[in-house]
């Protein structure tokens, strides 16, 4: 088959199958490292990679942190790029924060059992006064702030270490729930 016939066959195939797109190569994946600046698909800076661990990069955008798969970062014209704009990323982070806060606030009720990030049982919520949450641990109490709680795997989690809880309870020996300080 000569070149003219081949060109005619390709042209005919393109006209006959207009819905079939010719495959395009994906941009090469970027080597993701802490400290690198990441740009959006519009060329505007989104943020900086804080850390990379197990193929997950922590992207810091306007002081907010977002874990992203490292393999979504590709090489763009300005450098490492993801296929989103800064506004889209900020919107997603804010939406996730709102959903997490709503789940936390729904779970924060008197009597709810609380665990540490390692799954160790602390004890129940004893009282709630605004953003001050008092937990009963053994024979004592410890006060935490609302933003020190999250919901993970259906459990109310205090974002503190058990050693800190134990130390705060020891410092509050004999304190009532109103007197419990220990706010960490």
5-40 residue pLDDT tens: 333 333 333 344 344 444 445 567 778 999 999 999
**Sheet of 64-69: strands edge to edge?**
64-69, 56-61, 45-53, 37-39, 80-81, 74-75
Residue 138 belongs to a domain: yes
Whether 117 and 163 map to the same domain: the answer is yes
Residue 112, phi then psi, degrees to nearest 5: -65, 135
> Of 69, 104, 139, which residue is a domain's last?
104
Instruction: Using alpha carbons only, give the angle 119, 120, 124 rounded to the nearest 5 degrees.
Output: 105
Give, in order, the Cα–Cα distances in Å from 160 to each of 75, 100, 155, 157, 163: 39, 17, 14, 9, 8
Domain annotation covers residue 152 = yes
Q: How confident is the model at residue 175 (pLDDT cuts 50, 70, 90)?
A: low
Cβ-contact 40, 81 below 8 angstroms: yes
Query: β-pairing, 113-116 with 155-158?
Result: parallel
In whole numbers, what is the pLDDT of the chain averaged over residues? 84
136 lies in the same domain as 117: yes
The pTM (predicted TM-score) of the whole model is 0.66
CA trace torsion 140, 144, 148, 149 (10° rounding): 60
Range of the domain at 58: 37-104
Backbone angles phi, psi at 141, to 5 degrees: -130, 155
pLDDT of residue 61: 97
Q: What percentage of the chain reaches a pLDDT higher than 70?
A: 79
State the pLDDT at residue 124: 98
Instruction: Find which of 109-113, 134-138, 141-145 is predicted with most confidence, using mean pLDDT.
Output: 109-113
Tell me: do 125 and 140 sit in the same domain: yes
The gap from C-alpha 149 to its chain's centroid, in whole angstroms, comes to 15
Q: Considering the chain, what percentage of its residues have pLDDT values greater than 90?
A: 72
Q: Say whether both 100 and 57 belong to one domain.
A: yes
Nearest CA to 87 out of 36, 35, 32, 47 is that of 47
88 and 114 part of one domain: no
Please report the pLDDT score of residue 31 as a whole number: 85
Count of domains forming the chain:
2
Burial class (CB in 10 A: 0-12, 13-18, 19+), 114: buried
Q: Is residue 125 part of a domain?
A: yes
Whether residues 112 and 99 share a domain: the answer is: no
Collapsed DSSP state (helix, strand, coil) of residue 15: helix
């Amino acid at each position: 088959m000569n070149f003219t016939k081949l060109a005619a066959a390709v042209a005919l195939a393109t006209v006959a199958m207009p819905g079939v797109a010719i495959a395009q190569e994906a941009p090469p994946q970027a080597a993701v490292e802490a400290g690198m600046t990441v740009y959006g698909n519009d060329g505007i800076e989104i943020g900086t990679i804080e850390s990379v661990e197990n193929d997950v990069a922590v992207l810091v955008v306007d002081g907010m942190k977002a874990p992203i798969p490292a393999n979504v970062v590709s090489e763009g014209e300005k450098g490492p790029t993801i296929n989103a704009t800064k506004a889209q990323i900020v919107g997603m982070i804010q939406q996730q924060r709102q959903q997490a806060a709503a789940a936390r606030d729904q779970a924060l009720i008197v009597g709810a059992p609380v665990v540490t990030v390692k799954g160790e049982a602390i004890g129940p919520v004893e009282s709630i006064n605004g953003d001050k949450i008092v937990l009963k641990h053994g024979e004592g109490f410890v006060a935490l702030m609302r933003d020190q709680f999250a919901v993970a795997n259906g459990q109310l989690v205090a974002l503190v270490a058990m050693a800190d809880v134990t130390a705060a309870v020891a410092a509050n020996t004999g304190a009532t729930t109103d007197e419990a300080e220990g706010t960490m």
